[in-house]
Structure 1
Amino acid sequence: MESETEGIPIIKVTPLQQMFASCTGAILTSLMMTPMDVVKIRLQAQNNPFPKGKCFVYSNGLMDHLCVCEEEANKVWYKKPGNFRGTLDAFLKIVRNEGIKSLWSGLPPTLVMAVPATVIYFTCYDQLTALLRSKLGENETRIPIVAGIVARFGAVTVISPLELIRTKMQSKKFSYKELHQFVSKKVSEDGWISLWRGWAPTVLRDVPFSVPMPLHMSTWIIMKNIVAKNGFSGLFTGIIPRVIKIAPACAIMISTYEFGKAFFQKQNVQRQQY
């Protein structure tokens, strides 16, 4: 917890404190940014309704994932009817007609993935950065790149089984008993390694500076259909809340994390003095 630079002791935060700070940042970012994505999805669904079995991208400001449309499409939040003229109009009408809680629809399954992934990534990144700097020196420019890549590898590896379970839960309503039976059956039939199926493409997608995956042809078909039905502007439906969300999401996450570390560092210094 304590190191020394030019004879001056520096009190550092512990990994547990880093985890708490990053967890707080992840939750705050999710709570504050989710309404933007709910509005974006509702605007997209208004112009291009999501048919049963199809997927759409959901994000809480920290990470994106695919959601599968459920059977009772007329009852789920992203299928609710609306006549929105724009982002602000959608905000006001959703709150007035459905209640303010509707702006956080779909948040719980996202938190299941985003919080542990963020905690693992930020904590591993800081720990690896400190370790590499102690070995290679403070001025080594490649340290952030190496630490970021290794930390992302770790986060993806730990989260992959949760991704599999979350995807299964979204495809159908499962009780905890049924979910446990599904996981047990999968492990008994295909082994524990089956829980990490899809790890490789996820790594290629998430690890910084990795080689992109080829764009599947179905993506081009979907884009052509959207342009044919709604024109070129249809490709950018919901772009305003998406763009508005990115900058504040990064600011909230990073500033909360750094503030948390500074708070714990101050506490550690005070305990050290006494």
Structure 2
Amino acid sequence: MNGQNPAPPVSDGITPLQQMVASCSGAILTSLFVTPLDVVKIRLQAQKNPFPKGKCFVYCNGLMDHICVCENGNSKAWYKASGHFTGTLDAFIKIVRREGTKALWSGLPPTLVMAVPATVIYFTSYDQLCAVLRVRMGTSAELAPLLAGAIARVGSATVISPLELIRTKLQSQRQSYRELSDCIRSAVETEGWLSLWRGLGPTLLRDVPFSAMYWYNYEKGKSWLCEWHNTSEPTFSITFVSGALSGSIASIVTLPFDVVKTRRQLELGELQAKNLPCQMSSSTFCVMSRIVAEDGFRGLFAGFIPRLIKVAPACAIMISTYELGKAFFHKRNQERMLMPLQTNNT
């Protein structure tokens, strides 16, 4: 015994802590790139249909969708349009000129508090699960990414769901933490602990199939591109393209669930903001039936282009940055292992 602590378990040549650091870096970089797109989209929406008090809208930083509740009489709120925008490019230019560059990242800090931990849990869990499942599934090992992606998404969504509910209440009602704890305690006493996970069902209906398809297609696409380029290690461009394509496919297939989830999120957010009983909120099936009745089956695929434009680059940036971080730590670990050997040989 040399008196040193045993090394932590390693997956793909890196430790879980290093996986967390790599995913955290990817999450922050993704948010920095994608947030301006959503800020501009929300400003344009507010210009077309001004948000009244208590109105909810969905804000996305490239990692997660978040419910934001509008406040009354706050003309300086980041989501309210200042001036008139003729289009997306015009909105970008005018926001930067009038409010400064940092205005493009309005609303980002509060959402990162949950988005980054959720992403770290999700990516680290996926890698650990996939490594174990590849060994245990034997001849069916190629299905490991599909199963690992689904399980990892269930875990991260379940952990974050109560925090999203708490954040919505804090934002909409400006409660102190003591008032909030009393409110949560009252809800648990009257409706049970499951009330903290209200709205989780529609989230899982979209996110679990998305994750399963995304990881399966990503791993397949990455392997195929590596063979095509005759390389054993995926390059940044290979992971970027694989991430964009797999994210696009998954987003198209799960779009109806995304439309339903958004409707449900908005309903639940507004009910919580107005302190109304959440039993009034429709079930997933009822929301889907209502959309078909009002807009036809095309209504289930509303927002196809905007979702694709946002999801594809977000997936590409996140996964390529994550893989780059893992490659960095893998190389660093190998060099650290070789150093004692080189010292002994000399």
1:77-125 per-position Cα deviation (integer Å, ceiling 9, x unaligned): 1123321111111011001111111111111222122112211111111
Higher relative contact order (CA 8 A, sep 6+): 1
Residues 134, 176 of structure 1: CA spacing in aligned structure 2 closer, same or farther, 3 A cutoff?
Answer: same
The alpha carbon displacement at 1:19 in A equals: 1.3
Give distance in 2, aligned partners of 1:204 and 1:139. Answer: 25
The residue number in structure 2 matching 1:68 is 69
The alpha carbon displacement at 1:134 in A equals: 1.2
Q: Which moved more, 1:175-184 or 1:252-261?
A: 175-184
Moved over 6 A (4+): 220-224
Give distance in 2, aligned partners of 1:138 and 1:41. Answer: 48
* Alignment of 1:126 onto 2:191: no
The residue number in structure 1 matching 2:201 is 200
The residue number in structure 1 matching 2:57 is 56
Amino acid at match of 1:135: R
Aligned residues: 256
Identify, as 1 or 2, the structure richer in helix. Answer: 2
Residues 221, 57 of structure 1: CA spacing in aligned structure 2 closer, same or farther, 3 A cutoff?
Answer: farther
Residues 253, 130 of structure 1: CA spacing in aligned structure 2 closer, same or farther, 3 A cutoff?
Answer: same
CA contact (8 A) 1:37 1:58 kept: yes
Residues 271, 75 of structure 1: CA spacing in aligned structure 2 closer, same or farther, 3 A cutoff?
Answer: same
- What is the DSSP-based 3-state SS (H/G/I as helix, E as strand, rest coil) of the residue aligned with 1:23? helix
Amino acid at match of 2:143: R
5+ long unaligned stretches in structure 2: 1-7, 213-253, 258-283, 297-301, 341-346
C-alpha RMSD of the superposition: 3.0
Amino acid at match of 1:83: H
The alpha carbon displacement at 1:191 in A equals: 5.3
Residues 83, 57 of structure 1: CA spacing in aligned structure 2 closer, same or farther, 3 A cutoff?
Answer: same
Give distance in 2, aligned partners of 1:205 and 1:169. Answer: 26
The alpha carbon displacement at 1:152 in A equals: 0.9
CA contact (8 A) 2:66 2:164 kept: no
The alpha carbon displacement at 1:34 in A equals: 0.5
* Alignment of 1:39 onto 2:40: yes
- What is the DSSP-based 3-state SS (H/G/I as helix, E as strand, rest coil) of the residue aligned with 2:59? strand
Give distance in 1, aligned partners of 2:79 and 2:119. Answer: 26
Percent of matched pairs sharing the same residue: 63
- What is the DSSP-based 3-state SS (H/G/I as helix, E as strand, rest coil) of the residue aligned with 1:77? coil
The structure 2 residue matched to 1:258, chosen from 299, 319, 323, is: 323
Give distance in 1, aligned partners of 2:291 and 2:46. Answer: 18
Residues 205, 244 of structure 1: CA spacing in aligned structure 2 closer, same or farther, 3 A cutoff?
Answer: closer
Q: Which moved more, 1:129-138 or 1:28-37?
A: 129-138
CA contact (8 A) 2:135 2:141 kept: no
Equivalent positions of 1:20-39 (< 5 A) are 20-39=21-40
* Alignment of 1:171 onto 2:172: yes
The residue number in structure 1 matching 2:159 is 158
Q: Which moved more, 1:249-258 or 1:109-118?
A: 109-118
* Alignment of 1:269 onto 2:334: yes
The alpha carbon displacement at 1:184 in A equals: 4.6
